[in-house]
């Protein structure tokens, strides 16, 4: 005889646990089972945010919050009306997990330890009698004639009245094949959040240099991002590059990660303003050596590197720079071109762009529009955010909504 009124959640990660807890919160009478393919639960939560778990971002305007998602922002904007960053903070604080908002709005547990979040979830699961089964890798889900589900691993079968899929992202399409077989379309999965490789570029000799306010553009596209830029021994990284990698994930994959970027080392300052500034330096300090008088917020090493790129001799005096020299310098300061060839994953904090096509999911309930009774939450969806707690926020929001709606079992 089959179990009745059972919700099975596939995937024991952030979205899996949160949807289980939400289900029990809204429908305490239901049996809830989480199945996880590996032996480890919440493994990404453990390593997230460098072991500190950046649980959300203190952006409390839903419209603004949605802007941090290169994919899925529109769908999430509505979903945030049900559960947003404030809801996340309230949820944890209600469970005696104090949180801290950092200067950059990233939110961490005050303990600075992701284990606090894991312990909270596990404790809640015990108190709510949520069952957990590890080493159960789902290989297929069949919809039975009565609309219930038969879930198969390589060795076992279980039944469910409703299913929430929270299997996270996979860089390879094969991870989604069994969901595709249920009738869902998969938007081609690709990595997001990576740094740019510039093999053999002399700029890498300046590794460790950070310029706090830059704008980086992908040449011949409209893609641009601003923020700090970090020079590394393999190329460029830092928030500006990571944001650009997220917004450009699909386009850059199409280019096989071979493209050019234009760096504006002075952020969004306009050409005329920069010219005026340089003229003032020439007027006021014409006798000083160009290499020694650096008018911009960057290290002297980087300044001298940019002078050399502008074919300006650092030992010359400012008054000797000449009109052509000024033109070349302004151009390098505002449009410094680098060839990118390849990518490197940022501290392994990659997320997957792509996944379950969003138009096939009703974001009011997170229920599939293709298979009634099937729900989705987390990174398995074609949703991804930039760094800063946005990816977990998407997981909490979609999981909370799925749990709130999965219980309407006839
Ligand atoms: C190193 C690292 C650090 C990060 N740090 C942050 C951060 O600080 N803040 C932030 O917002 N985001 C961060 N992210 C992103 C964030 O971790 C993910 O977006 C989030 O974990 C997604 O949650 P999820 O539950 O959807 O997927 P996951 O956490 O990936 O969980 C999916 C689970 O499903 C299981 N599973 C998969 N297939 C099956 C199957 N067929 N059967 C059964 N189980 C299955 C997997 O084993 C896994 O346990 C980080 C990511 C990484 C890799």
Closest ligand 1 atom to 42 CA:
49
Q: Is 77 in the pocket of ligand 1 (CB under 6 A)?
A: no
pLDDT interval class at 170 (50, 70, 90): confident
Which stretch of 155-164, 264-273, 322-331 has the lowest confidence by average pLDDT?
A: 264-273
Residue nearest to atom 11 of ligand 1 (CA): 389
What pLDDT does residue 115 have?
A: 98
What pLDDT does residue 93 have?
A: 96
177: CA distance to ligand 1 center in Å? 18
Secondary structure, 3-state, 60-73: CCHHHHHCCCCECH
Average pLDDT over residues 276-288: 95
pLDDT at residue 67 is higher than 50: yes
Q: Is 374 in the pocket of ligand 1 (CB under 6 A)?
A: no
Q: Is 80 in the pocket of ligand 1 (CB under 6 A)?
A: no
351: CA distance to ligand 1 center in Å? 8
236: CA distance to ligand 1 center in Å? 26
Q: Which of 168, 193, 347, 400 most suits a substitution to test ligand 1, by most atoms within 8 Å of the C-beta?
A: 168
> Domain residues of the chain, as ranges?
6-191+349-405, 194-348
Copy the structure tokens of residue 179: 């969901």
Q: Which of 391, 396, 400, 401 most suits a substitution to test ligand 1, by most atoms within 8 Å of the C-beta?
A: 391
392: CA distance to ligand 1 center in Å? 9
Q: Is 47 in the pocket of ligand 1 (CB under 6 A)?
A: yes
CATH fold label, 6-191+349-405: FAD/NAD(P)-binding domain (3.50.50)
Nearest to 246 by CA among 172, 354, 359: 354
Q: Is 252 in the pocket of ligand 1 (CB under 6 A)?
A: no
- Report if pTM > 0.85: yes
Residue nearest to atom 29 of ligand 1 (CA): 13
The C-alpha torsion from 276 through 277 and 279 to 285, rounded to 10°, is 160
334-336-339 Cα angle (round to 5): 150
Copy the structure tokens of residue 214: 């830059």
| Beta pairing, strands 140-143 & 149-152 | antiparallel
174: CA distance to ligand 1 center in Å? 17
99: Cβ contacts below 8 Å, ≥ 6 apart:
55, 89, 92, 93, 107, 108, 109, 110
Share of the chain above pLDDT 90, in %: 94
Nearest to 391 by CA among 349, 361, 341, 360: 349
The string of pLDDT tens digits covering residues 72-117 is: 999 999 999 999 999 999 999 999 999 999 999 999 999 999 999 9
The C-alpha torsion from 102 through 106 and 110 to 115, rounded to 10°, is -150
Q: Is 138 in the pocket of ligand 1 (CB under 6 A)?
A: yes
């Amino acid at each position: 005889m089959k179990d009745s009124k059972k919700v099975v959640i596939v995937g024991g990660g952030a979205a899996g646990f949160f949807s289980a807890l939400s289900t029990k919160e809204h429908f305490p009478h239901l049996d809830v089972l989480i199945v996880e393919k590996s032996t480890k639960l919440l493994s990404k939560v453990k390593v997230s945010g460098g072991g500190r778990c950046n649980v959300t971002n203190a952006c409390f305007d839903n419209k603004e919050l949605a802007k941090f998602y290169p994919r899925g922002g529109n769908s999430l904007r509505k979903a945030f009306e049900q559960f947003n960053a404030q809801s996340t903070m309230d949820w944890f604080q209600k469970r005696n997990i104090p949180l801290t908002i950092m200067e950059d709005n990233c939110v961490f547990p005050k303990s600075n330890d992701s284990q606090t979040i894991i312990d909270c979830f596990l404790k809640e699961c015990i108190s709510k009698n949520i069952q957990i089964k590890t080493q159960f890798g789902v290989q297929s889900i069949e919809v039975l004639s009565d609309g219930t589900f038969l879930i198969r691993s390589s060795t076992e079968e279980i039944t469910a009245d409703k299913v929430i899929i929270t299997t996270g992202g996979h860089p390879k399409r094969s991870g989604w094949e069994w969901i595709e077989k249920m009738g869902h379309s998969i938007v081609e999965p690709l990595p997001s959040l990576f740094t740019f490789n510039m093999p053999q570029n002399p700029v890498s000799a300046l590794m460790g240099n950070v310029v706090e306010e830059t704008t980086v553009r992908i040449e011949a596209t409209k893609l641009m991002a601003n923020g700090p830029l970090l020079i590394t021994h393999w190329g460029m990284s830092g928030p500006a590059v990571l944001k650009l990698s997220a917004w450009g994930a699909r386009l850059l994959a199409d280019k096989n990660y071979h493209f050019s970027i234009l760096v504006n080392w002075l952020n969004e300052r306009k050409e005329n303003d920069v010219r005026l500034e340089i003229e003032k330096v020439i007027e006021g300090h014409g006798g000083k050596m160009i290499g020694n008088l650096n008018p911009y917020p960057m290290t002297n090493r980087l300044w001298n590197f940019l002078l050399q790129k502008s074919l300006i001799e650092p030992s010359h005096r400012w008054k000797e720079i000449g009109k052509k020299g000024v033109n070349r310098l302004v151009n390098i300061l505002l449009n410094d071109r680098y060839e990118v060839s390849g990518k490197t994953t940022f501290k392994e904090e990659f997320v997957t762009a792509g996944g379950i096509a969003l138009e096939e999911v009703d974001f009011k309930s997170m229920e599939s529009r293709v298979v009634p009774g099937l729900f989705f939450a987390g990174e398995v969806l074609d949703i991804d955010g930039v760094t800063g707690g946005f990816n977990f926020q998407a997981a909490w929001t979609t999981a909370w909504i799925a749990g709130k709606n999965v219980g309407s079992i006839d």
